[in-house]
Amino acid sequence: MPIYTPPLRDMQFVMHEVFKVTDEFKAMPAHAEVDADTLNAVLEEAGKFAAGVTFPLNISGDTEGCKLDTATHEVTPPKGFKEAYQQFVEGGWPALSCLPEFGGQGLPHTVNQCLYEMLNSANQAWTMYPGLSHGAYEALVAHGTDEQKKLYLPKLVSGEWTGTMCLTEPHCGTDLGLLRTKAEPQADGSYKLTGNKIFISAGEHDFTENIVHLVLARLPDAPKGSKGISLFVVPKFKVNADGSLGERNPIFCTGLEHKMGIHGNATAQIAIDGATGTLVGEPNKGLAAMFVMMNAARLGVGNQSLGLTEVAFQNALAYAKDRLQMRSLSGKKAPDKEADPIIVHPDVRKMLLTAKAYAEGARALQIFCTLLLDKAQHHTDEKVRKDSDELVALLTPIVKAFITDNGHVATNACMQVFGGHGYIKEWGMEQFVRDNRINMIYEGTNTIQSLDLLGRKVLGNNGATLKKFGKLVGQLVAEEGVNEKMAEFINPIAYLGDQMTKFTTEIGFRGFQNPDEVGAAAVDYLRVAGHLVFGYLFARMAQVALREIAAGNTDPFYQGKLQTARFYFAKLFPETATLMRTARAGSKVLMDTDAALA
């Protein structure tokens, strides 16, 4: 059976020692009173819930899966899932970072991020049920009417109801401009929706008495394409004006997808047959409203792979220390045993350190982004709010694509550490690989994220936001550029920062002449950008570790942090040179290939 220990020490290091979040909170009236002790106490309890309640259900939930009653359209999730959700609600966890005016606890997004990392390590399939609700909450806070907020938000915040996002249809995934679901206006101001949706995560279950579906559909006079999409809130049970439940709405689960992983989550096919809904936001502006939820989901998906990377690493490390196999090439390391533990072998260490580095880099990036979200929403300085919002927009596709791609590498590497045992279900490693695989696909495939980063977020404003991130790198380089002990961390990011400007300009010029050049370079470009971001964060973590060691701190945690950073810069960061070369190879070898693909 697998193991899991919440990585509280590393979370505290990133929050308190690297980013000094409580100092940042002092400029945010909503969070000014939040102190380190409060954060640590909340996360310690969150870790107990994740490790003690949802983690033991992970393998059994994967084995059992969800069951659909085709006569009633009701779905039963795996044994124990509903009871775990009830404990989650009783503990107040759904309300952690929600606004107090809707019953929330008002804690920073940064805390919620750490909670969900641990939940994803423990049981990604289970975590998707409350996770999607939080996205629905964010969309309604941003675009809902006062009446919608009053009806739905208190129940979503408390966890009494859950939410979904209903986007995808059988004939269209990412290209939502092709969707066909219709919304007919009614005399009372409501709408009747008709259509079919697929791949709806947590689309049906028995955790709660109501499910709040956010549905994309077209009005009768809507223009074609994405400019003609509207967003509607369509509850499973209609909601009366006083908040009580009315009759069943005809929005039903007609099938469950048979998937590679996340078997414990109900990925539903949804039939909408004249269901009553209300408009969220303005007519034909639904995509903008839904993007609030989608962007929250993209950060959440990155967090899913962070969680799986962490738990896979912990199990692989424990196994490598215990499993005896062969002798070290440099001589016996365990002479009292018949063979050495496999952790003595260089390539096993490479696999372990790859997972560790990708977990720690991802954790730093996730906390950095959620701190930016807190600043964008609550900081007293308008410029800080604006700059933070722009940086989050720039980093979101990197969080989604870079962390999930790295999660694929890391979970596979950790399974490899187990050898043949990694391929066997009982150890849990193959489930981490399977569960992670969807993270590279949904909420916009990683190629879509790459096109978004390069096409919209970088070239779309002539690199202005990228330059803002470059200033952060430049400030760190200026601060530590003469510190010889920091040279191994500073020099690589200084060099790549300079290269990034030339690289971006070159790809942009080529793309202006032929748009396929952007498509050909985008995936490689995102990974280069991802390494620049990780490199900056690892340099900041190394900076703190070196200062602590110089001050006489003998905690081995800091030596471990330095060793991980050194490995990252020596073995993973150099990938950027190859990526820039393949990006510059252009589109011709991809597009002039009709004979090869005949």
User: Encoding tokens for residue 556?
Assistant: 């081995």
- State pLDDT tens for residues 238-289: 999 999 999 999 999 999 999 999 999 999 999 999 999 999 999 999 888 8
* Mean pLDDT value across residues 70-78: 97
Name the pLDDT band for 175 (thresholds 50, 70, 90).
confident
Topology classification of domain 163-284: Butyryl-CoA Dehydrogenase, subunit A; domain 2 (2.40.110)
The helix or strand, by DSSP H or E, that contains position 264, with its residue range, turns out to be none
User: Rounded distance, CA 598 to CA 594, Å?
Assistant: 6
pLDDT above 80 for 293: no
- State pLDDT tens for residues 176-208: 788 999 999 999 999 999 999 999 999 999 999
- State pLDDT tens for residues 300-324: 999 999 999 999 999 999 999 999 9
Contact 397, 523 (CB under 8 A): no
Domain ranges across the chain: 8-143, 163-284, 447-591
pLDDT value for 289: 81
Average per-residue pLDDT for the chain: 96
pLDDT value for 296: 84
Q: Note if 247 is an active site residue.
A: no
pLDDT value for 350: 98
Which of 24, 443, 480, 548 is the catalytic position? 443
pLDDT above 90 for 292: no
Phi–psi pair at 193, nearest 5 degrees:
-105, 140
pLDDT value for 226: 85
User: Encoding tokens for residue 409?
Assistant: 């590498």
- State pLDDT tens for residues 439-481: 999 999 999 999 999 999 999 999 999 999 999 999 999 999 8
CATH 3.40.640.10 assigned to domain 8-143? The reply is no
Question: Which of 146-150, 274-278, 333-337, 564-568 has the weakest average pLDDT?
Answer: 333-337
pLDDT value for 552: 98
* Better-scored residue on pLDDT, 168 or 288: 168
pLDDT value for 356: 98
Matching fold, domains 8-143 and 163-284: no
Q: What is the DSSP letter of 217?
A: E
Name the pLDDT band for 135 (thresholds 50, 70, 90).
confident
User: Encoding tokens for residue 423?
Assistant: 């391929």
pLDDT above 90 for 294: no
* Mean pLDDT value across residues 86-92: 98
Give the contacts of 168 (CB within 8 A, at least 6 positions apart). Answer: 197, 198, 199, 200
User: Rounded distance, CA 180 to CA 200, Å?
Assistant: 16
3-state secondary structure 383-441: HHHHHHHHHHHHHHHHHHHHHHHHHHHHHHHHHHHCHHHHHCHHHCHHHHHHHHHHHHC
Name the pLDDT band for 588 (thresholds 50, 70, 90).
very high
* Mean pLDDT value across residues 153-171: 95
pTM over 0.95: yes
pLDDT value for 421: 97
User: Rounded distance, CA 180 to CA 198, Å?
Assistant: 13
